[in-house]
A and B are shown apart, each in its own frame.
Chain A
Amino acid sequence: MAVSAAASDGNVETGSWLNIDTLPTLIFSLISLLIVLYAIWSVKSGRKFTIREIPGLKAVDEAVGRATEMGSSILYTPGWGGDIQRPTTIASMNILSSVATRTAEYDCRLIYPTHDPVIMAVAQEVVKESSIKAGHPERYRADDIFYISSSQFGYAAAVDGIISREKPASIFLLGTFEAESLILAETGNSIGSIQIAGTDSTIQLAFFIVACDYTLIGEELFAASGYLSGNESILSSVKAQDIIKILISLFIIVAMIWATIDPSSTWWVF
C-alpha cells in the first residue's frame, strides 16, 4: 500500500517515509509511550502508589518465623537458568534483601547456594547490607552463601542434598528456573518445608504450583520486587502496565458487543 502511494508520487525506488500499514502500531506505541512517561513522572513526583497484597509476600514473615521457632534454617536459591543481568535474577535479589533483613532480626540461618560465582558475590553483598540494616552485622555468615557448580544437574543434586540433610523449615525458590525446579520442589515438599516459589517460565510454574505452598506467577515476581525495594523504575512500569491493561479490557468488551450487534464491522482488526 505504501509503495503504491509512493509510486504515484513518481519515486518508486525511494519508498515512502511513512509506511501506512504500520499506522495502528505507531498510534498505539505513542499512546503507550505517553502512559509510561506519565507513570514515571507520577512516581517520581512522589505520588503514593500502592500495590495489592501478594499472598506469597505475606508468607515471607510466616516462613522466617516458623524457621526461627523450629530452630531450623532457611534455604534461598535463585535457580540455575539465570545470570545476574536477567530481570528475574534482579527481582530475586530485591526480595532476598528483605528476607535477609528478617532472618538477621530473628537470628535465623540463611543458606544460599547458587550456580554462578557472580550471583554469589552480589548475594553476599545484599545479605551483608541487610544484616547491617537490621542492626546485627555479626549475624552475617559469608560461608552460607556459596557457589556450587555451573552444571545444571550437578547444581540440582547438590541443592537436593543440602535440603535432605539440613531440612530447612522454609525454602525460597525465586528466580530463573529450568528443569531443576521439579527436583528441588519435590524434595522440599517431601520433607515438609514451607515453600515459596516464583519464576517467569510457564512450564516451571506449573510444577511449582502443585509442589509449593505459595507461587509468585510471572509478573507478580517483578511487582513484588518493586514493592519490597521501592524501586521507582519498576513501580512506574507496574503502574503504566496497569493503565494499559484497563484500556485493553475496555477495548475487548466494547469490540465484542459491537461485533455482536454489527457482524459486518471489522474496525478492531489490525
Chain B
Amino acid sequence: MDRLRTRWIIFSGLAIVVIVSYLITIKFKTAPSPATLKAYKYLDTLPEKSVVIFSFDHEASSLPEIQPIALAMLRHAFKNDLKIVGLSLFAEGTAIGYDLLSKTAREYDRQYGSDYIFLGFKPQYISAILGMGESIKRVFPEDYLGNMTDTMPIMLGIDSYDNIEMVVSIADGDRTVQWVEYAGARYNQKVMAGLTAAMITSYDPYLSSEQLYAVVGGLRGAAEYENLLDKRGGGSRGMLAQSAAHLYILALVIVGNIIYFRNRRRRGGE
C-alpha cells in the first residue's frame, strides 16, 4: 500500500509539473548543438531544386517527439525550394509521413508531383534501400496515391541515389543505421537523421566517423532547429516543460539516493 502511495505521489507530481509548465509561455534562446547546426547549414546552402529524400522510419508511438523535428526540417526544405521525395520504411510511418509532408507543402504552396512526392512504404527495408540504389522507380512503381511513379514530373530526372543529394531519415530506432550501412556504404549516399533523444548516443560513432552527416536529436534538437529557422513550433513550445521535467527527475534521483545512504548508514551503525 505504502509502495503504491509513493508511486501515485510521484506520478501526480510529474503530471502537475509538466502540465503547469506547459501552460506557461516563456521564450527561450536555445543555442544549437554542433550536429543541429551542421544539418541546418547543409539544407540551407543546397541549391534550389536539389532533391532530398525524407524517409519516415518510425512508429506512431514516437510521433510526439518526431513530429516537431520533421516539421522543422520539412519547412526548411520547402522554404528553400528543394524537391522532396518522401517515403517510409515503417508501416506506421506511412500515413504520418504523408500527412506531415502535405501539411508543410500547403504552407509553402508547393505542388504534389512536381515539388514533392510521397512514394509510400516498403517492407523489408534492407532490400528496399539497396534496390533504390539501382532504381527508385523499380522499388516504387506506384506512389502513395496510386500514380505511376515514372509519369510524375518530379521523377523525370530521378533514377537512383546518383540524383539524390541527401537522405534525411526521421527515426526512432536503428533504421538510420541501415541507411548508413547499405545506402551510404554501398552507394556513397549522404545520410543525415532526425532522431528521438533516446537514440542520439547510439549514433555518435557514425556521426564521428562521418558516415552519418548530421543529427537533429529530440525535442531539444527541434527547438534548436526552429530557432535557426526563426519559426516557433512544437520544440520551442515544449522546452519549459522539458526543463521542468528534467529538474523534477533530478530532484527525485537526489532525494532517493539521500534516503538510501541514510538508511544504509543507519543499518551499518546497528
User: Chain A residues in contact with chain B, CB under 8 A?
Assistant: 164, 190, 202-203
Q: Do B3 and A202 touch across chains, with their CB atoms under 8 A apart? A: no
Residue B202 contacts which of A164, A190, A202 (CB distance < 8 angstroms)?
A: A202
B131 to chain A, nearest CB (A): 17
Report chain B residues within 8 Å CB of A190: 3
User: Chain B residues in contact with chain A, CB under 8 A?
Assistant: 3, 198, 201-202
Report chain A residues within 8 Å CB of B198: 203
Dominant SS among interface residues on chain A: helix
Report chain B residues within 8 Å CB of A164: 3
Report chain B residues within 8 Å CB of A202: 201-202
A23 to chain B, nearest CB (A): 14
Chain B residue, CB-CB nearest to A164: B3
Report chain A residues within 8 Å CB of B202: 202
A203 to B201, CA, bound (A): 10
A268 to chain B, nearest CB (A): 12
A190 to B198, CA, bound (A): 25
B138 to chain A, nearest CB (A): 18
A265 to B3, CA, bound (A): 62
5 nearest A-B pairs in the assembled complex, by CB-CB distance: A203-B198, A202-B202, A190-B3, A164-B3, A202-B201
B67 to chain A, nearest CB (A): 20
Chain A residue, CB-CB nearest to B201: A202
Report chain B residues within 8 Å CB of A203: 198
A202 to B201, CA, bound (A): 10
A202 to B205, CA, bound (A): 14
Chain A residue, CB-CB nearest to B3: A190
Report chain A residues within 8 Å CB of B3: 164, 190
B3 to chain A, nearest CB (A): 6
B108 to chain A, nearest CB (A): 36
Chain B residue, CB-CB nearest to A206: B201
B73 to chain A, nearest CB (A): 24
A203 to B203, CA, bound (A): 13
Chain A residue, CB-CB nearest to B4: A164
A202 to B3, CA, bound (A): 28
Can you name 5 A-B pairs with beta carbons within 8 Å? A164-B3, A190-B3, A202-B201, A202-B202, A203-B198
Chain A residue, CB-CB nearest to B198: A203
A203 to B202, CA, bound (A): 9
B5 to chain A, nearest CB (A): 13
B13 to chain A, nearest CB (A): 16
A77 to B201, CA, bound (A): 28
A159 to chain B, nearest CB (A): 15
Report chain A residues within 8 Å CB of B201: 202
A145 to chain B, nearest CB (A): 27
A127 to chain B, nearest CB (A): 30
A203 to B198, CA, bound (A): 7
A190 to B256, CA, bound (A): 11
A190 to B2, CA, bound (A): 11
B197 to chain A, nearest CB (A): 11
A195 to chain B, nearest CB (A): 15
Chain B residue, CB-CB nearest to A202: B202
Chain B residue, CB-CB nearest to A203: B198
A213 to B81, CA, bound (A): 55
A190 to B201, CA, bound (A): 29
B267 to chain A, nearest CB (A): 11
A190 to B3, CA, bound (A): 9
A85 to B3, CA, bound (A): 37
A202 to B173, CA, bound (A): 12
A192 to chain B, nearest CB (A): 11
Chain B residue, CB-CB nearest to A210: B253
A202 to B174, CA, bound (A): 12
Chain B residue, CB-CB nearest to A19: B186
A106 to chain B, nearest CB (A): 28
Chain B residue, CB-CB nearest to A191: B3
A182 to chain B, nearest CB (A): 12
A202 to B198, CA, bound (A): 10
A164 to chain B, nearest CB (A): 7
A190 to B202, CA, bound (A): 30
B207 to chain A, nearest CB (A): 16
A211 to chain B, nearest CB (A): 11
A178 to chain B, nearest CB (A): 11
A116 to chain B, nearest CB (A): 20
A179 to chain B, nearest CB (A): 10
B75 to chain A, nearest CB (A): 30
Chain B residue, CB-CB nearest to A187: B3
A191 to B3, CA, bound (A): 10
